[in-house]
A and B are shown apart, each in its own frame.
Chain A
C-alpha cells in the first residue's frame, strides 16, 4: 500500500486557507536531510519528507483530514474550563500566554476532537496539537480527552487518540497533574464497554501524557522517529551524567523495548487504524451497549 492511493485531498481547502497567504513558490528544507521540498508537495505528503521519510510535526486539522474517510468529519464542541485557576505568572502572565497561543493558532487549546468515519465506520478521533503551547496537558486538554471518551461511549464508536505533548501544563499546577487520573477514568469506561481505544504516539510525547492515557491503549502505534518517554532526554542526561544510547526514546527504540506494538508510516496510518478496528470488533457494536 502506498500513500498516493490513500491520500485524499481535503474537500474544502479554501475554507481552511483563509489566512494562508504563503506565496506559491515557497520551498521548505527538511530538518533531517536538508532536501528542499515545494511546500504544496509537502502538504500533499502530509509533511513527510520524500527524501528521507522524516515525519515533521503536523496540526490537528491535517490529522483529521488524513485520517477520516475522504477528509470528512465534524468537530465536537468542547466544554469551557476555568482559565488560569492559579493566576499563574512566570516571566509573563499565563493568561497572556494563553491569549497569544489562541490568537496565533485560532484554536481554544491543544486538543481537538472530531467525529466521522474511518474505514467506513464511525470513529471518534482526538488530536493533541504540539503547536499549541507544546500540546501541554492542562484542564482544557484533559476535559477534551474526557469529552472524546464520552463521545465514543455515546456513539458506540472506537476512540483514537493522537497524542503529542511535552507534558503537563505547568502553569495550571496540580490541576494539570489531576488530568492524568481524570483521563484514565474515561479510558477505563471505554475498556469496560468493550470499545477499542487506540493510541497514536507522535513526536514528541512525554511526561504526564505518556504516563496516563498515552500508555493505556489497547494498541500503541508510534510514528517513525517520534520521541516518546516519561522524562525528557535532557533531564535524564542531567541526572545520570552519562551519554544516552543511540536512538534512545525514539519510536523504534520503544518498539524494541516492548512499549509500542508497531511503528507505522503516516501514510499508512488510516488503513492500519481501520484494519485494527475491524479485527477487534468485526464492525459489531459491543454487547450491552445502547443502539
Chain B
C-alpha cells in the first residue's frame, strides 16, 4: 500500500523520498549506497520517534482518521476465525456502516460489531464513511440480544465520525436507535469489550462503546463532538479545529486520566498505519486478555458492574 503522508509528516516524507531515490540510483548504476541509506533510515526513525512521541491532539485526530489505518474489516479478517456476517435490523434495511457477525476470537466464540469506514471510494460510499443510520444501531441491538441469549461475549470495534445526520435517519428515529443501543449495552449479561480503533465520534460511537472494558489505541480519539463541529459552534469557525481538539481532551491519554477509558494499547512507531499487522495482532491479544478476565463473572455481576462503572464516572477524582 502506498504511504499517505500527513501534513505534519512532511520531514519524514522528504527523507523517505531521498531513500527511494538512492535505492533507485543504486540499483541502476550498481553503486553501493547501503551506508548512505542506513544513515537516512536512522534519521527517519529518529524523526518519527520524536514526532509520534509528541503528537498534539489535532495531529492525533489526523492519525486516527488516516486512510491506511486498519479498519474494522481488517481486524475481523485477520483475527476472527469462522467469521459469519449477519445483516439487517429486521425492520427496515441493512446498514453497511456497522459490520456485525459471529466468529471465534482467538478461539473463543463471540459476537462482533464495529463501524466500517471503507477502504476505497467505492467502499466508503457503500459503508457511508462509517456513519450509521438507525438501522445500524437496531441491527447491533438485535445481535447483542442474541449474543446474550447464547452466552456469547460481545466485542465492538469503534471507528466513526458520528451517526449520520440525514433526513431519513431522523425520520426513522436516529436518537431513539442510539438511546436503545446504549440501553442494550448497559443491560448485557455477557462480557463486553470495546476498542476504539480510530475515531470515537459522539453518540454514534458511544452506542457501541458502553462496555465493561473500554480500550483505546494510542493515537485514537474519542469525543463528544468532532473538533471541527466544536470549533464551528464555539469559535464560529471550523478553522479552529486544532484548538478545539486540544480543549476537548480527545486523546486516549487524556481520557484515561479522566477515568473514562480503561486501557491504552500502544501503536507501532509512526502509528498503526505503518505496521498494520502488529497493531492488529496486539489488539487480538489484548481483547482476548480482557475477555478472559471477565469470564468468571455471572450475568448479574457483569450487568451491575457495568452500570456502576458508568454511574461512578466523573464522581470523584476531578476538580
Q: Could you tell me which A residues sit within 8 Å of B by CB distance?
A: 81-86, 88-91, 139, 146, 168, 170-178, 180-182, 184-185, 187-188, 207-208, 210-216, 229-231, 235-236, 239-240, 242, 244-245, 248-249, 257-259
Could you list 19 A-B pairs, sorted by A, with CB under 8 Å?
Answer: A85-B318, A168-B225, A174-B222, A175-B258, A175-B313, A178-B314, A181-B206, A184-B186, A185-B307, A185-B310, A185-B311, A208-B202, A208-B203, A213-B179, A216-B180, A229-B174, A230-B175, A239-B166, A258-B173
Per-residue A-contact encoding for B301-319, CB less than 8 Å = 1, 0 else? 0000001001101110011
User: Looking at the complex, which one of B175, B223, B255 makes contact with A215 (CB distance below 8 Å)?
Assistant: B175
Chain B contacts for A236, CB-based, 8 A: 165-167, 170
CB nearest neighbor in A for B224: A177
| Bound-complex Cα distance A161 to B291 (A) | 37
Name, among A90, A91, A171, the residue most crowded by chain B CB atoms within 10 Å (CB to CB). A90
Chain A contacts for B174, CB-based, 8 A: 211, 229-231
B141 CB-CB contact with A under 8 Å: no
Give 9 closest A-B pairs by Cβ, nearest first: A231-B165, A82-B318, A210-B175, A90-B234, A230-B175, A230-B174, A211-B175, A211-B178, A85-B318
**Nearest chain A CB to B167 CB, angstrom units:** 7
User: Looking at the complex, which one of A177, A182, A242, A249 makes contact with B202 (CB distance below 8 Å)?
Assistant: A177
B31 CB-CB contact with A under 8 Å: no
Chain B contacts for A89, CB-based, 8 A: 247
User: Looking at the complex, which one of A81, A177, A231 makes contact with B206 (CB distance below 8 Å)?
Assistant: A177
The reply to whether A176 and B258 form a contact with Cβ atoms under 8 Å apart is no
| Bound-complex Cα distance A81 to B169 (A) | 35
Chain B contacts for A178, CB-based, 8 A: 260, 310, 313-314
The reply to whether B167 and A82 form a contact with Cβ atoms under 8 Å apart is no
User: Looking at the complex, which one of B167, B210, B307, B314 makes contact with A242 (CB distance below 8 Å)?
Assistant: B167
Chain A contacts for B311, CB-based, 8 A: 146, 182, 185
Majority-rule SS of B interface residues: helix
| Bound-complex Cα distance A170 to B248 (A) | 8
B172 CB-CB contact with A under 8 Å: yes
User: Looking at the complex, which one of B185, B247, B313, B318 makes contact with A182 (CB distance below 8 Å)?
Assistant: B313
| Bound-complex Cα distance A225 to B172 (A) | 19
**Nearest chain B CB to A161 CB, angstrom units:** 13
Chain A contacts for B313, CB-based, 8 A: 175, 178, 182
The reply to whether A230 and B247 form a contact with Cβ atoms under 8 Å apart is no
Chain A contacts for B206, CB-based, 8 A: 177, 180-181
The reply to whether B170 and A180 form a contact with Cβ atoms under 8 Å apart is no
The reply to whether A175 and B182 form a contact with Cβ atoms under 8 Å apart is no
The reply to whether A230 and B260 form a contact with Cβ atoms under 8 Å apart is no
Identify 17 new A-B residue pairs, CB closer than 8 A, beyond the known A175-B318, A178-B314.
Answer: A85-B319, A170-B234, A174-B248, A174-B250, A174-B258, A177-B206, A178-B260, A180-B179, A180-B206, A181-B185, A181-B310, A184-B186, A188-B186, A212-B182, A216-B179, A231-B165, A235-B229
| Bound-complex Cα distance A139 to B170 (A) | 26
CB nearest neighbor in A for B235: A90
The reply to whether A173 and B167 form a contact with Cβ atoms under 8 Å apart is no
Chain A contacts for B175, CB-based, 8 A: 210-211, 214-215, 229-230
The reply to whether A173 and B185 form a contact with Cβ atoms under 8 Å apart is no
| Bound-complex Cα distance A91 to B307 (A) | 36
Chain B contacts for A231, CB-based, 8 A: 163, 165, 169-170, 174
